[in-house]
Structure 1
Amino acid sequence: MSETPGLYSSPVLARPGAVAAPQDGPDRGTAWHYGDPLGEQRAAVTTAAVVDRSNRFVIAITGEERLTWLHTISSQHVATLADGASAENLSLDVNGRVEHHMVMTDLDGTTWIDTEADRGPDLLAFLSKMVFWSKAAPRRGSERVVVSLLGPKADSILRAVGAEVPAMPYDALPLDAANPDLGLVRRMPWPTRTDSFDVLVPADRLDEWWAKFVVAGAREAGSWAFEALRVESGRPRLGLDTDDRTIPHEVGWIGGVTEFGAVHLEKGCYRGQETVARVHNLGKPPRRLVLLHLDGSADGRPETGDDITVGGRSVGRIGTVVDHFELGPIALAQIKRAVPVETTLDAGPCAASIDPDSYVLDTAVQAGRAAVDRLRGR
C-alpha cells in the first residue's frame, strides 16, 4: 500500500464488475460497487457481503506499556484492555474537538489500530512524538489491510474459511488459530442490524482471502453498501459527518467500551478532557447528529458540507449522503440542538425531514448544573 492514500489502488479493483469509488472521496482506491449497489446492500442484511476497506490506514503498536500509554493520550479507557478485546477511541485537540477516530484491537502483544486513510499519517506522527520514555513503539502496520464481512451468514462464511467467530461485539480472535501472525477477526456493533465483522488480513494475500470469502458464499459489495448501512445505523464518519468544530457529544461518541462509545467519562486526564467534562456536567452540546430523509423527487442532491437551512437561515451541516435500498436517499447531518424534530428542512436543492428515531430529546439537568443552581438558591 502506498504511503500516500490518494495513490492507493486495491488489487480487488481488478475483479469483474468492480466500479471504482470516486477519486475525490474517502474510499478512493477501492470498489464503490459491483454493478448492483442496492442489491449489495440487501445481501449485507439478509445473507452475507464482503466489502473491501483496504485503504484504511493501519498502525501497529508494540511494547509492554502500549495500553497504559494510549490510555493517557486518548479518550477511551484502554489501560486494562484484555487480550483479544477491541475499542473505539478518539484523539482530541486541546479544545476537545475531534481530530482522529480509531478502532483498536489488542491481540498477542500488539495493538492494531485502523483509521481513515487521509488521517492516518497525522495520527501516526502524533503517536510517535508522544512516546517520550514510554515502552511503546507505534509504526505503520502496512502488512495488514481491512475487509468487512456483513450479514446474518457472515459467521458461517468465517467458519467455512477456517476462522473462529468472536462471540461478542469488540471481541477479536486470530484469523487462523494455528498461525496467529496471519491476522485477526473482530466482531463490530455496526454497521448492520445483524452481524458485522472486520477482518485484518495480510496485505499481500488480500486477493486470496477475498476469493475465499466469495467462494464461501459472500457477495462482493462496494463502499456504497457499507456507507448506506452505516448512515442508517447513525454512526458518524470523521471528515464526512464531522467538521473542525465537532466535539464528541454532538455525534454520539460518548460512552465506554461496553456502551459502544469512544469517550469514557470516568478516566484520567487526556488532551481535551476539560471540554468533555464541562459539556457533560454543565451544559448541552450545541449540535446533534440526526438521520435525514431527503426528497427523492428533487432535481439533485445535497453534498457533504452543504448548509441545512430553515427559511434561509443556516441551522446545520450535511454529512454523508447516500441512496439506501429501502429508505431511499438519506443523509447524516449535524443540526442545531434547538431545531424541533418536526421541522421541515432545506438541504441543498431538496427538502429534508428528520427521522424521529434518530432524534434523542435530552431534557435532563446535568449534575454539575443542578449543583450550581442549588448553590444559587434556584
Structure 2
Amino acid sequence: MTASPLLSRHGAVNDSGADAGVALHYGDPVAEQRALAAGRAVSDQSHLGIVTVTGPDRLTWLDSLSTQAIGTLAPGFSSETMILSPQGRIEHVAGVVDDGETTWLITETAPALATFLDRMKFMRRVEVADATADFAAIGEAVSAPAAAGEPPTWVDPWPGVAAGGTTYAADPDAPHPGADRAWRLVLVPRTTLEAEIDSRLDAGWSLVGTWATEAARIAAHRPRASHEVDDTTLPHELDWLRTAVHLHKGCYRGQETVAKVHNVGRPPRRFTMLHLDGSAHTLPALGAPVMNGEKTVGRITSVARHHEEGPIALAMLKRSVDPTLELMVPSDGGPLSASQELIVNADGFSSDRPDKPGPTMRGLMMGKGCAADGGDMT
C-alpha cells in the first residue's frame, strides 16, 4: 500500500504492521484519544481495502456466499459479513454498505477477497473489482449513516446483536463496553482524501492516528481480522456472531461448523480483555504469549495504551483457563501481570444455546446437508 499523503502532516509518525502507511499519531496521542472520545475527530483509514460489486445479482449472490443475510440490504444501511472456509474458519471479513447500484466491501484482505469473489461468479450478473487504488476510507467518531448526497458510508454495527445473530458474552444483559463507541468509515475518491479531511479540520475537528482509533477499538472489545484472526479462528471465539453471522439464513460455505459449534459444541478458545500492569513503561508485542506460570495459555492479539484505562490488550486464550487467574505476559521491560475481563464467557455457550437436541434433531441442527459445505441436499 502506498504511504498516505497525510504522513506529511506536522508531527505524523508512520505506523507499522497492518497499519503501515498511515499515521500512528500526529504528536499528541493522549489529546487525540480525547478528541476521538468527544466525537470531534477524523482519522486517515486509507490503508484499508475496498472491493466493489456491481450488477443486478450482487446482493443475493453475496448473500449465498457469506455468513450474513444481506440479500435484501437496503441502500445506505450497513452490515458486516464473513467468508469462511469449508471448515468454518474465518478467511475474510468485510463491512458492507450498498448505495443502490454498488455494494461496497471494506476489508483488510482486498486482493484475496476480490480474487475469491471473481472465481465464484459463474453465471451470475455481477462484476467484482478491487477499488482500493481509487477509493479511500476516512474514519469518523460518528454513528449516523450518510445523508442524501453524501459518499457511501459504513456505520460500524458493533456491538449490537443483529437479526439472526447471538452473543457469547459472559453477561448478555450487562451494558457492553463498546455501546458508546461511535465509528463510521466514509468512502471518498483517493484523489480527494486530503481535501475531505481538511474540510473536517476546518470545522474544528482534530486529526487522529491509529493509536487513538485502536485504543478505542480495544476498549470496546471489537475484534479486527488482521489482528485477531489466525488460520483456525472460528467466529464464535471472538463473539463475532453478534454482527457478522446470521444463524437462520440457510446455506453458505462453513455453515455446518457454525451451526454445530453453536448448537451442540463449544469454541475451543475465548476472546479476552487484559488489563496490564500500568507501572511498566513497555507494552507486549503482538503475538506475545500469555502465561499461567510456565504454561502458555494464549497469545496477545491487540495492545494499546488507553488514555483512561492505561495499558490494555486483547488476547485469545484457551477456553479452559480459569477467568479469575492473574496471568503474565512477557515484554522487553520484563513480565507484565494481566488481569482478565471476560468478553466470551468461560463456559463456551451462547446466550440462546438450544436445549440439548434429540437424535433426530441433532443432524438438522448441525447443518447436515448444506451444499455449500459439500453436503448432500437430498
Matched, 1:216 2:196: no
Q: 1:304 touches 1:319 (CA, 8 Å); kept in 2?
A: yes
Once the two structures are superposed, the pairs formed by residues 57-76 of structure 1 within 5 Å of their partners are 57-76=49-68
Give unmatched runs, 5+ long, in structure 2: 159-177, 363-378
Matched, 1:43 2:29: no
1:212 to 1:192, Cα distance in 2 relative to 1, 3 A: farther
Q: Partner letter of residue 138 of structure 1?
A: V
1:47 Cα offset (Å):
4.0
Moved more, 244-253 or 311-320: 311-320
Query: Which residue type is aligned with residue 29 of structure 1?
Result: G
Task: Write out per-residue CA displacement over residues 40-83 of structure 1, whole angstroms, 9 at most, x where no aligned residue.
Answer: 11111124111100111111110000001001111111111112
Structure 1 residue 362: Cα displacement:
4.7
Give 1:96's match in structure 2, choosing from 75, 83, 88: 88
The alignment yields a C-alpha RMSD, in angstroms, of 2.2
TM-score of the superposed pair, with normalisation by structure 1? 0.84
- Matched with 2:340 is 354
Of 121, 127, 130, the match for 2:117: 127
Q: Which residue is 1:285 aligned to?
A: 267
Contact 1:21 1:32 (8 Å CA) reproduced? yes
Deviation at 1:196, TM superposition (A): 2.2
Aligned counterpart, 2:167:
none
Task: Indicate the residue corresponding to 2:374 in structure 1.
Answer: none
Q: Which residue of 2 aligns with 1:147?
A: 138
Q: Is the 8 A contact 1:241 1:319 kept in 2?
A: yes
Aligned partner letter, 1:339: V
**Paired residues for 1:178-217 under 5 Å:** 183-190=151-158, 193-217=180-204
Aligned counterpart for 2:13 among listed residues 11, 16, 19: 19
Q: Residues 301 and 316 of structure 2 are in contact (CA less than 8 Å); yes or no, is this contact kept in structure 1?
A: yes
Partner of 2:240: 253
CA distance in 2, matches of 1:373, 1:36: 61
Deviates more, 1:245-254 or 1:141-150: 141-150
* 3-state SS in 2 of match to 1:367: coil
On the 8 A contact 1:300/1:350 being kept in 2, the answer is no
Please give the per-residue CA displacement for 1:162-196, whole angstroms capped at 9, x wherever unaligned.
xxx53xxxxx44553xxxxxx22333345682432
Does the Cα contact within 8 Å between 2:89 and 2:235 map onto a contact in 1? yes
Q: Which amino acid aligns with 1:115?
A: T
Alpha-carbon distance in structure 2 between the residues aligned to 1:175 and 1:53: 21
Amino acid at match of 1:143: D
Contact in 1 for aligned 2:67/2:252 (Cα 8 Å): yes
Distance in 2, Cα, partners of 1:173 & 1:265: 31
Deviation at 1:363, TM superposition (A): 7.0
Q: Which segments of 5 or more consecutive residues in structure 1 lack a partner in the other structure?
A: 156-164, 167-171, 177-182, 256-260
Q: Does 1:87 align with 2:79?
A: yes
* Equivalent-residue separation in structure 2 for 1:75 and 1:364 (angstroms): 20
Aligned mates of 2:252, 2:44 — CA distance in 1: 34
Identity, % of aligned positions: 41
The one-letter code sitting in structure 2 at the alignment partner of 1:17 is G
- Worse overlay, 184-193 or 131-140: 184-193
Structure 2 vs 1, CA of residues 88 and 316 (structure 1 numbering), >3 Å: closer, same or farther?
same
CA distance in 1, matches of 2:281, 2:216: 24
Once residues 317 and 139 of structure 2 are traced to their aligned partners in structure 1, the CA distance between those partners, rounded to angstroms, is: 30
1:9 is aligned, of 3, 6, 14, to 3
Measure how far apart 1:299 and its partner are.
Answer: 6.5
Instruction: Count residues with an aligned counterpart.
Output: 336
Q: Separation in 2 of the partners of 1:144 and 1:199?
A: 10
Comparing 44-53 with 192-201, greater Cα deviation is found at 192-201
The aligned residue for residue 159 of structure 1 is none
- Given that 2:76 and 2:97 are in contact with CA atoms closer than 8 Å, whether structure 1 keeps it comes out as yes
- Between the aligned partners of 2:62 and 2:361, the Cα distance in structure 1 is 38
CA distance in 2, matches of 1:87, 1:374: 31
Q: What are the superposed Cα offsets for residues 5-42 of structure 1, whole Å, 9 maximum, x if unpaired?
A: 3xx111111112211112xx111111110111121111
Offset from partner CA, 1:102-157 (integer Å, 9 cap, x none): 101011210011111xx21111100110101001111122322101111xxx58xx
Q: CA deviation at 1:300?
A: 3.7
Asked if structure 1 preserves the Cα contact closer than 8 Å seen for 2:96 and 2:154, the reply is: no
Contact 2:110–2:130 (CA under 8 A) maintained in structure 1: no
Residue 192 of structure 1 contacts residue 229 of structure 1 at CA under 8 Å; is this kept in 2? no
Which whole-Å CA distance do the structure 1 matches of 2:349 and 2:189 have between them? 48
Tell me which residue corresponds to 2:229.
242
